Structure 1
Amino acid sequence: MVSKLDLYHVFCTVAKNESFSKAAKELFLTQPAVSQSIMQLEKELDTRLFIRTPKGVSLTDEGSLLYEYVNSAMNLIGVGEEKISEFKNLTVGELKIGVGDTISRYFLLPYLEAFHTRYPNIKFTIANGTTSELCTILKSGGVDIAICNLPIDDPTLELRPCFEIQDIFVYGERFKKILAKPISFQELVKLPLIFLESNSNSRRYVEDYLQSKGIQIAPEFELGSHELLLDFAKINLGVACVTKEFSQHFLTNGLLREVVTLEKIPSRSIGVCYLKTVPLSPASTKFVELIEGGL
């Protein structure tokens, strides 16, 4: 069945060529098929659109009026198809990412740089927040993907782990003698502790693990950022629970030391999160592939 759009396409082609035979050649149709399409359109509109002339065909007054609108519409469809092609080829578009400050600083920046180098016309929008805040933003449509601390218990989200991290405790000069030998978690929690705020996914993960061992914590300080944990530990305000991979500058330069514990906290991951029910945009798909593939 020939669609109305197909009929208008034939109509425009005939009008431009002022000939059924030339239009048929351009459309890779037979001349009778073109004539039949014009007859069908004229019947549906109850209006004569063309006048036959010795040199071909010309538009009637009604046909000329219709052509102005139809030709404009067909051009707009063509522009729309070009824009879709540009969008798919990542020559235009926007990528909205949700991420916490620490993950952004220590993990995400190189990937943003690499992606921008490959696709310079893609605009970035970055939303900051805790893991729970980012999940809320993600589900409200505020971002396309979120880079979060895992684990996350939410059946509506697709979770793709991409980078393994290790939670450790660090200390400054004041605690050097006390922590010179390996220590149990039961003894460690007796020292002044520095943790992230209780709504942090990283804090909950460590706290849940310690509670599974029958160990309760009562931090001396609860802070809002990973950088503050390191700074507070550096000036000997306590023993801080931090992410090892994000603390390398302090550890390698001797500003802080890692606590040697009798057992390790199980490692966890940073991962990409997105809604299961919403397909990823081309830009989001490429960015996830970049992260999973590594630099």
Structure 2
Amino acid sequence: MKLTQEGNIFYEYIAAGCAQFFKGENNLSNLISLENGTIYISATETALHCYLFEAVRDFNILYPNVHFKILNNSTTDSVNALKEGKVDLAVVSATLQVTPPLKMKIVKKYRDILIGGNRFEKLKNREICGENCA
């Protein structure tokens, strides 16, 4: 098969566009297959230290060409960043109600412990609010 003279002229105009299209398609395919790319995460301080740093390390062992951009925010700011499409996921240290299309999954539980001076002596060996804490 051989292009006509008109086909050759048209090809000169569209070749660069087609190359960009195929490059973009390849880049998207790489992102989906986790060969490279960047994952944007917003996380609370507690979530960073109790879960996320270890999870990122383990993930990078399996997928070394994937990079992370991690923002340190409050729970509210992390969820808002996710709602606004600024990040791909949020890792927070408080349970909360989320509305579709967001979904929440508990990945690790932890326990807060008060460390205080004599002023808090009367609270020693007591559970303050247990399951009712928000």
Counterpart secondary structure, 1:134: helix
Please provide the CA RMSD for this pair. 2.8
Match of residue 97, structure 1, among 35, 41, 44: 41
Are 1:85 and 2:7 counterparts? no
- Structure 1, unpaired ranges of 5+: 1-13, 16-49, 51-58, 180-186, 189-258, 269-295
- What TM-score comes out, normalization by structure 1 length? 0.39
Pairs within 5 Å for 1:87-236 = 87-156=31-100, 157-171=102-116, 174=118, 188=123
- Cα distance in 2, alignment partners of residues 171 and 110 from structure 1: 29
Q: Could you list the runs of 5+ residues in structure 2 that have no partner in the other structure?
A: none
Is the 1:99–1:148 Cα contact (8 Å) retained in structure 2?
yes
Residue 117 of structure 1 aligns with an amino acid whose one-letter code is I
Residue 267 to residue 103, structure 1, CA distance change in 2 (3 Å): farther
Q: What per-residue deviation string (whole Å, max 9, x for no partner) do you get for residues 64-110 of structure 1? A: 21122344444444333322322222122110001112221232111
Identical columns (%)? 24
Partners of 1:128 and 1:72 in 2: CA distance: 41
Per the alignment, do residues 102 and 263 of structure 1 end up closer, same or farther by CA in structure 2, a change over 3 Å counting? Answer: closer
Aligned length: 132
Higher strand share: 1
Q: CA deviation at 1:168?
A: 3.5
Contact 2:40 2:89 in 1 (8 A): yes
| Deviating 4+ runs (over 6 angstroms) | none
Contact kept in structure 2, 1:166 and 1:265, CA below 8 Å:
no
